Amino acid sequence: MVLNPVISKLSGKLVVLASASPRRLEILRNAGLRFEVVPSWFKETLDKRVFKSPHEYAVETAKQKALEVARRMPVKHLKTPDIVIGADTIVTVDGLILEKPVSKHDAYRMLSSLSGKEHSVYTGVAIIVCHEKESKLDYQLIDFYEETKVKFADLSEDMLWEYINSGEPMDKAGGYGIQALGGMLVEYVHGDFLNVVGFPLNHFCKQLDVIYNQSTSSSDQGAESAHLSHNGTHVPPALALFTASKLSVFDLLHGKPGLDAAQVAHEIRASVKGTQCLLEACVSLGLLTTSQKPVYENTELATLFLRSDARFSLRGYIQHCNDTVWPLFSHLDSAVQEGTTQHQRAFSKKPKDNSQDVCHGSQDVKLRFMNAMHSIAKVTGETVATAFDLSSFKTACDLGGCTGAMAYEFTKAHPGLSVTVFDLPSVVEMREHFQPQHADSRVSFAAGDFFKDELPKADLYILARILHDWPDEKVHILLGKIADACTPGCGVLLSEIFLDEDRAGPSRGLLQALSMSEGQQRSAAEYSLLLKSHGFIPSHITHTHNLLDAMLCIKA
Ligand SMILES: C[S@@+](CC[C@H](N)C(=O)[O-])C[C@H]1O[C@@H](n2cnc3c(N)ncnc32)[C@H](O)[C@@H]1O
């Protein structure tokens, strides 16, 4: 019996369930766990396309639900929980994720797609173990998922509609509840039944056991499917990724899937021993698979993001991280001690300001930087471009728009909009190296310095990943110039990582700040203040969950 010893460890602790699902509540209550229910305010709107497999989507949603509650409670409830539990259940069939139906017709669509077939039910679970350190929230995150396979009988139209009209499908993932009437639709269940109801109790107890009854460092038990991390990144995974990318392993295995380590070593001109270690490390990171041992293939993640010719290739960004960001971080202790960028130590030359770096670097350095910006803009561009209704704007100017990757996403999303990309002359000159995914005569380029030169006239100014590079004084200069160019009703669309208001996350923003560039990471409220001081009133703010957040402001 795993749970009892764990329950005694939890007595006296504030355990919080970040879910309002009555079924989860009942499962945990029946197991004897004492907890408070604080339903999460996190909106389940993550972009499913960015996840390589459905269970990652469920785990991320569970994580975000739990984190939202863990962060809110100290502020709004004036108490810090010891443990927050978040969970998200999804059903997948034929590669599609089914959540809760929004209407009877939606329920019909879901249930008829399940009829006569086997489908998977995944529940992602996140356990946040909170500690208060110097009145700040510090936490450990353990996440895992459980898959159960369920087969439905062939369902006649009458049966489907009778079930839908019972009202049961409406608040349930996949449109059915196995514990009630929906149980009649099921031919078999392979795996944990409670996982289908909404919570994988057995797996959860094992994880609690790992947290409370074993030392986490010596425990391998949870390491297979659970992921224990502090608010930071792990260095070696990044290096394995950088190296495999640099040695073109993902391109090679895309063209020739199913090579063994010796064959890969031969192709990339590396040692067999080193290649074997690298390939195994990549398998452990989910970048490669070796389902038919001993040969290797790219995972879906690698196919989507790591091939150099993939639509959403991040190869340029990975190279930039390897060649520019990583050397800076290898002097992090000095960076922290001195509070300045470590350019001089890392590259044996004095730093110029951010823009000048691009201007004065060699052709290769410039291209590398532009490639990095281009790859991130392709991945995030559509999300940023579609974050708001921009139909009232006819002309936009993408300040520091680099290769135009973001601008093309804006014209694609808004048929009535033309965009001028404004960037430094040396960047605009080299834009020809980057082919847009689709040609569009509504995108044009103009060269200049946004601190010194006149800005192109536009109804909307786009500032994507610009302001975090600069201190407040420079931001005021730039916003002042934009305000001068604007008439009332004109807009500024800002896209950045928005720090949480209590600066407890997200870690990607806080870690980026450690590079000690001239700029600084800010929260949405801090950006709002800067913009308001130039007469721009924030009208919408969105956390997109695709790297960048966005804010639309209108000139009063
Ligand atoms: C971090 S990148 C962001 C690129 C792009 N907005 C995106 O989101 O992909 C900053 C961009 O600002 C440009 N930039 C920097 N200083 C500038 C200046 N003074 N005038 C015009 N553009 C500048 C850089 O060349 C670079 O393309």
Answer yes or no: is 355 within a domain: no
Ligand 1 center to residue 403 CA distance, Å? 10
Q: Name the residue with the closest Cα to ligand 1, atom 27.
A: 402
What letter represents residue 363's amino acid?
Q
Q: For a pocket test of ligand 1, which of 373, 374, 449 has the largest count of ligand atoms closer than 8 A to its C-beta?
A: 373
Q: DSSP class of residue 454?
A: P
Is the CB of 418 within 6 Å of ligand 1? no
Q: Name the residue with the closest Cα to ligand 1, atom 3.
A: 465
Answer yes or no: is 312 within a domain: no
End-to-end CA distance of the chain: 64
Supply the pLDDT for residue 30.
85
Is the CB of 379 within 6 Å of ligand 1? no
Give the pLDDT mean for 291-309. 92
Which domain CATH number covers 107?
Answer: 3.90.950.10
368 with 323: CB under 8 angstroms? yes
User: What gap in Å lies between CA 20 and CA 486, rounded to an integer?
Assistant: 46
Spatial CB neighbours of 428, under 8 Å, sequence gap ≥ 6: 421, 445, 446, 447
Residue 227 predicted with pLDDT over 70 = no
In 3D space, the residue among 340, 363, 380, 289 whose CA is nearest the CA of residue 519 turns out to be 340
Is the CB of 423 within 6 Å of ligand 1? yes
Answer yes or no: is 54 within a domain: yes
H or E element in which residue 409 lies = helix 405-413
182 with 266: CB under 8 angstroms? no
The per-residue pLDDT for range 55-72, each reduced to its tens digit, is: 999 999 999 999 999 988
The per-residue pLDDT for range 497-513, each reduced to its tens digit, is: 999 888 988 888 998 88
Ligand 1 center to residue 340 CA distance, Å? 21
Residues of the chain with pLDDT > 70, as a percent, come to: 91
Which domain CATH number covers 512?
Answer: 3.40.50.150
Is the CB of 465 within 6 Å of ligand 1? yes
The per-residue pLDDT for range 3-57, each reduced to its tens digit, is: 456 666 777 789 999 998 999 999 998 888 888 999 999 988 888 887 878 999 9
Supply the pLDDT for residue 71.
87
Answer yes or no: is 350 within a domain: no
Residue 397 predicted with pLDDT over 90 = yes
Answer yes or no: is 316 within a domain: no
Ligand 1 atom with minimal separation from the 401 CA: 6
Asked if the bond preceding 488 is cis, omega within 30° of 0, the reply is no
Spatial CB neighbours of 125, under 8 Å, sequence gap ≥ 6: 59, 62, 85, 86, 87, 143, 144, 145, 146, 199, 200, 203, 204, 207
Residue 427 predicted with pLDDT over 70 = yes
Is 268 found in the same domain as 390?
Answer: no
Which domain CATH number covers 259?
Answer: 1.10.10.10
Is the CB of 373 within 6 Å of ligand 1? yes
In 3D space, the residue among 242, 55, 235 whose CA is nearest the CA of residue 147 turns out to be 55
The per-residue pLDDT for range 157-206, each reduced to its tens digit, is: 999 999 999 999 998 989 999 989 999 999 999 999 999 999 999 999 88
Kindly state the tokens that stand for 313.
Answer: 């290739």
Ligand 1 center to residue 405 CA distance, Å? 12
Answer yes or no: is 327 within a domain: no
Is 167 found in the same domain as 185?
Answer: yes
Spatial CB neighbours of 153, under 8 Å, sequence gap ≥ 6: 115, 116, 185, 186, 187
Ligand 1 center to residue 402 CA distance, Å? 6
Is 420 found in the same domain as 388?
Answer: yes
The per-residue pLDDT for range 458-514, each reduced to its tens digit, is: 999 999 999 999 999 999 999 999 999 999 999 999 999 999 888 988 888 998 888
Is the CB of 401 within 6 Å of ligand 1? yes
Catalytic residues: 88
Q: How many domains does the chain have?
A: 3
Is 389 found in the same domain as 522?
Answer: yes
Supply the pLDDT for residue 362.
77
Is 294 found in the same domain as 418?
Answer: no
Mean pLDDT of the chain: 88
Is 377 found in the same domain as 270?
Answer: no
Answer yes or no: is 324 within a domain: no
Is the CB of 466 within 6 Å of ligand 1? yes
Angle between helices 405-413 and 363-385 (to 10 degrees): 20
Residue 218 predicted with pLDDT over 50 = no
Q: Which of 195, 227, 259 is the last residue of a domain?
A: 227
Task: Give the pLDDT band of residue 79 (cuts 50, 70, 90).
Answer: confident
Q: Name the residue with the closest Cα to ligand 1, atom 24.
A: 400
Is the CB of 402 within 6 Å of ligand 1? yes
Is the CB of 188 within 6 Å of ligand 1? no
Is the CB of 486 within 6 Å of ligand 1? no
Q: Which of 288, 305, 322 is the last residue of a domain?
A: 305
The per-residue pLDDT for range 109-144, each reduced to its tens digit, is: 999 999 999 999 999 999 998 887 666 667 788 889
Q: Which of 285, 305, 325 is the last residue of a domain?
A: 305
| Whether this model's pTM surpasses 0.80 | no
Spatial CB neighbours of 59, under 8 Å, sequence gap ≥ 6: 88, 124, 125, 126, 143, 144, 145
Ligand 1 center to residue 394 CA distance, Å? 23
Is 122 found in the same domain as 52?
Answer: yes
Ligand 1 center to residue 358 CA distance, Å? 9
Asked if the bond preceding 22 is cis, omega within 30° of 0, the reply is no
If you search the block for the tokens 């006296």, which residue do you land on? 12
Ligand 1 atom with minimal separation from the 353 CA: 16
Residue 215 predicted with pLDDT over 60 = no
Residue 391 predicted with pLDDT over 70 = yes
Q: Is 545 left (phi over 0), alpha (psi -120 to 50) or beta?
A: left
Supply the pLDDT for residue 225.
30
Is the CB of 451 within 6 Å of ligand 1? yes
Residues of the chain with pLDDT > 90, as a percent, come to: 63
Is 468 found in the same domain as 447?
Answer: yes
Q: For a pocket test of ligand 1, which of 353, 421, 450 has the largest count of ligand atoms closer than 8 A to its C-beta?
A: 450
How far from the centroid of its chain's Cα atoms is residue 460's Cα?
A: 27
Domain of residue 419, residue span: 363-555
Give the pLDDT mean for 382-393. 94
As for the ipTM of the complex, it is: 0.99
Is 206 found in the same domain as 259?
Answer: no
Ligand 1 center to residue 203 CA distance, Å? 47
In 3D space, the residue among 15, 148, 126 whose CA is nearest the CA of residue 61 turns out to be 126
Is 210 found in the same domain as 301?
Answer: no
Q: Name the residue with the closest Cα to ligand 1, atom 19.
A: 449
Please work out, in degrees rounded to the nearest 5, the angle formed at the alpha carbon of residue 423 by the alpha carbons of 421 and 425: 125
If you search the block for the tokens 């203040």, which residue do you land on? 529
Q: For a pocket test of ligand 1, which of 403, 462, 466, 495 has the largest count of ligand atoms closer than 8 A to its C-beta?
A: 466
Is 385 found in the same domain as 429?
Answer: yes
Ligand 1 center to residue 355 CA distance, Å? 7
Answer yes or no: is 319 within a domain: no
Strand partners, 492: 461, 553
Task: Give the pLDDT band of residue 365 (cuts 50, 70, 90).
Answer: confident
Is 267 found in the same domain as 200?
Answer: no
Q: Name the residue with the closest Cα to ligand 1, atom 16.
A: 355
Ligand 1 center to residue 150 CA distance, Å? 51
Is the CB of 400 within 6 Å of ligand 1? yes
